[in-house]
């Protein structure tokens, strides 16, 4: 079940356990149950602090983790390997008594939640976003006796997960709570906890305040802090959209990494400086009053700064057709790597003929029964090598000059209707999934009319990252810079920070 390398790594982690843990397993005669018991037996043999016993649980196969004198609050339904193996290791350590790596303010917020809150999260073992949600909810269950959490592998419980078409999907007390990547701060906020507005109102005026948590913002905050400036960063999540990137192979000096790994390294780098990090916070409004930038947050909190750097990046572009919003997580998806396995053996479509769309269609062809690629233009825009690869697949079809008109279905998506732009004829495809890959849109709605934007909503900046408003700068994918790449965004973030420093000196 575990190779020698994983065994060696696991043995080292288990030495960090601070107390005893009881694993209670519910197994049957199926292969998944056998694999689960093989895994648990190997884990038990590695530590004298672990006890393994069998019992009948709500789901089979599944197992719980608990301290000897407590009721179990963490359950794994299925075999947590793949990306979820780390979730299992962390849960073992935290249940044993080892303190989670979280800010004390977050720990205090978790402990204040009254509950009871009974969470279930459906995941895919190939999903890179799922472990963050699983680990956040497991940590909450460890810290608060009024919270329980069950991770459910959708592949192991197909009947139960048949209507779930996006991962991770969280349920709270049987009702859908949320879908997609979520940080522990975001979950706390959705439960009614989180930071109070008054915590922001008492903060002193910043020299540089950065909005956003991606590569551009992280770089800007670090460069500003290195100049000795009082620096703050307001972010929905550190890493931004990079968190959703499966693989990164073009960040120079790092041959290969993943989005979550990159984001974690960025977070650690930011935390190594004296930067006031305000995570899981959204900005509602910006104003420039008396040479200071006034920032109003969605929770009512207010911040002021002498200079501002906007680095809020971009988000998936929607098709904006009837049915798209209604069937999100019910057949409409945006991440083929994460959600693709949920469509195994089904018919799907990919909308978008650029590199990301063609790559998505190629990846999905190895999982689904049939994939149809729809391109609005007369020709695909992807690299020729990708087009040739897609054309060689016997379960893939390419339709050009296709304008998606509507998505329809019942409880889940059942069909896509498109218009042939050459003949104006309507056609309907019977399918169960649509992956939207038509590019990105800048996250700049909150700036209002304060700074100039182009017709795509991108903030217009000069070579120094300056906007049309003195003291306000912008960097990364939210601007009109030509290329949207991690390494370019980080450079533009550094430029904006140095420009803000120069502005402060001169003013």
pLDDT at 341: 82
What is the 8-class DSSP label of residue 393?
-
26 is in an annotated binding site: no
How far apart CA 455 and CA 345 sit, in angstroms, is 41
Residue 219 annotated in ligand binding: yes
Element (H, E) at 276: strand 275-279
71: burial class by Cβ within 10 Å (0-12, 13-18, 19+)? exposed
Contacts of residue 457, defined as CB under 8 A and 6 or more positions apart, other chains included, come to 441, 442, 444, 445
Packed helices 384-391 and 355-365: angle between N→C axes, nearest 10 degrees: 30
Whether the domain at 200-315+444-506 and the domain at 332-436 fall into the same CATH topology: yes
Q: Is 340 known as a binding-site position?
A: no
Q: In the structure encoding, which two tokens stand for residue 215, read together?
A: 């590569």
β-bridge partners, 393: none
Q: Is 263 annotated as a binding residue?
A: no
Sign (positive or negative) of CA dihedral 366, 371, 376, 380: positive
Q: In sequence order, what are the beta bridge partners of 293?
A: 288, 305
Smallest Cα–Cα separation from 13: which of 82, 73, 86? 86
Q: Is 348 assigned a ligand-binding role in the annotation?
A: yes
CATH number for the region 200-315+444-506 comes to 3.50.50.60
210 annotated among ligand-binding-site residues: yes
What are the backbone dihedrals phi and psi of residue 362, each rounded to the nearest 5 degrees, phi first?
Answer: -65, -45
Is 215 assigned to a binding site?
Answer: yes
Task: Confirm or deny that 475 is annotated as ligand binding.
Answer: yes
Neighbouring CB atoms inside 10 A of 66's CB total 17
- CATH 3.40.30.80 at 4-191, yes or no: yes
Known binding residue 77? Answer is no
Q: How far apart are CA 461 and CA 447, in angstroms?
A: 14
- Provide the 10 A C-beta neighbour count for residue 443: 22
Query: Homologous superfamily of 332-436 in CATH?
Result: FAD/NAD(P)-binding domain (3.50.50.60)
333 annotated ligand binder: no
Is the separation of the CB atoms in 166 and 156 below 8 Å?
Answer: no
Q: Which helix (H) or strand (E) holds 284?
A: strand 283-289
- Confirm or deny that 353 is annotated as ligand binding: yes
C-alpha span between 87 and 91 (Å, rounded): 6
Residues in contact with 162: Cβ distance below 8 Å, sequence separation at least 6, in sequence order: none
Specify the pLDDT at position 246.
67
| Domain extents in the chain | 4-191, 200-315+444-506, 332-436
For residue 392, say whether it is annotated as part of any ligand binding site.
no
Q: What's the CA gap between 268 and 201, in Å, rounded?
A: 26
d(CA 219, CA 207): 16
351 is in an annotated binding site: yes
- Is 402 annotated to bind ligand? no
Closest CA to 447 of 271, 272, 308: 308
Q: Confirm whether residue 167 is marked as ligand binding.
A: no
Q: What is the pTM of this model?
A: 0.77
Task: Please indicate if the annotation marks 80 as binding a ligand.
Answer: no
Mean pLDDT by 10 residues, the chain (507 residues): 84 95 97 96 96 97 97 97 94 97 89 94 89 96 98 92 85 92 88 81 96 97 98 93 79 90 94 93 94 94 97 93 92 84 92 93 96 97 94 97 97 96 97 93 95 97 98 98 92 98 97
Is 360 annotated as contributing to ligand binding?
A: yes
């Amino acid at each position: 079940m575990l190779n020698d390398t994983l065994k060696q790594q696991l043995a080292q982690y288990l030495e960090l356990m601070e107390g005893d843990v009881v694993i209670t397993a519910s197994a049957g005669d199926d292969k998944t149950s056998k694999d689960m018991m093989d895994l648990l037996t190997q884990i038990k043999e590695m530590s004298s602090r672990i006890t393994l016993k069998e019992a009948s649980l709500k789901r089979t196969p599944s197992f719980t983790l608990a301290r000897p004198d407590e009721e179990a609050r963490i359950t794994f339904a299925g075999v947590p390997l793949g990306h979820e193996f780390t979730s299992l290791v962390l849960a073992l350590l935290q249940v044993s008594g080892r303190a989670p790596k979280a800010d004390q303010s977050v720990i205090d917020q978790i402990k204040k939640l009254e509950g009871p809150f009974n969470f279930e999260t459906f995941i895919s073992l190939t999903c890179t976003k799922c472990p963050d949600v699983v680990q956040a909810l497991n940590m909450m269950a460890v810290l608060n006796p009024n919270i329980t959490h069950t991770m459910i592998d959708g592949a192991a419980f197909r009947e139960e997960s048949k209507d779930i078409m996006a991962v991770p999907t969280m349920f709270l007390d049987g009702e859908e709570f949320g879908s997609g990547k979520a940080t522990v701060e975001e979950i706390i906020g959705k439960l009614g906890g989180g930071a109070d507005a008054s915590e922001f109102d008492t903060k002193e005026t910043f020299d540089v305040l950065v909005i956003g948590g991606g590569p551009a913002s992280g770089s800007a905050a670090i460069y500003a802090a290195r100049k000795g400036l009082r620096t703050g960063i307001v972010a929905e999540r550190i890493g931004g959209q990079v968190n959703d990137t499966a693989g990164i192979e073009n960040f120079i000096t790092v041959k290969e990494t993943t989005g979550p790994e990159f984001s974690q390294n960025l977070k650690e780098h930011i935390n190594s400086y004296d930067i006031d990090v305000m995570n899981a916070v959204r900005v509602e409004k910006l104003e420039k009053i008396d040479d200071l930038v006034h920032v109003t947050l969605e929770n009512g909190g207010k911040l002021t700064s002498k200079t501002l750097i906007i680095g809020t990046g971009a988000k998936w572009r929607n098709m904006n057709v009837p049915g798209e919003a209604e069937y999100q997580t019910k057949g409409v998806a945006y991440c083929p790597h994460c959600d693709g396995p949920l469509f195994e053996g089904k018919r799907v479509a990919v909308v978008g003929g650029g590199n990301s769309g063609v790559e998505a269609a190629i990846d999905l062809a190895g999982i689904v029964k049939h994939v149809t690629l729809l391109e609005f233009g007369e020709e695909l825009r992807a690299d020729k090598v990708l087009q040739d690869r897609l054309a060689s697949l016997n379960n893939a079809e390419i339709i050009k000059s296709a304008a998606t008109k509507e998505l329809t279905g019942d409880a889940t998506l059942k069909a896509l209707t498109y218009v042939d732009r050459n003949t104006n004829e309507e056609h309907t495809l019977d399918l169960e999934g649509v992956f939207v890959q038509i590019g990105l849109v800048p996250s700049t709605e909150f700036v209002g009319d304060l700074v100039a934007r182009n017709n795509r909503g991108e903030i217009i900046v000069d070579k120094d990252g300056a906007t049309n408003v003195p003291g306000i700068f912008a960097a990364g994918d939210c601007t009109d810079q030509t290329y949207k790449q991690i390494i370019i965004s980080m450079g533009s973030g550094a430029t904006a920070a140095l420009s803000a420093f120069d502005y402060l000196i001169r003013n």
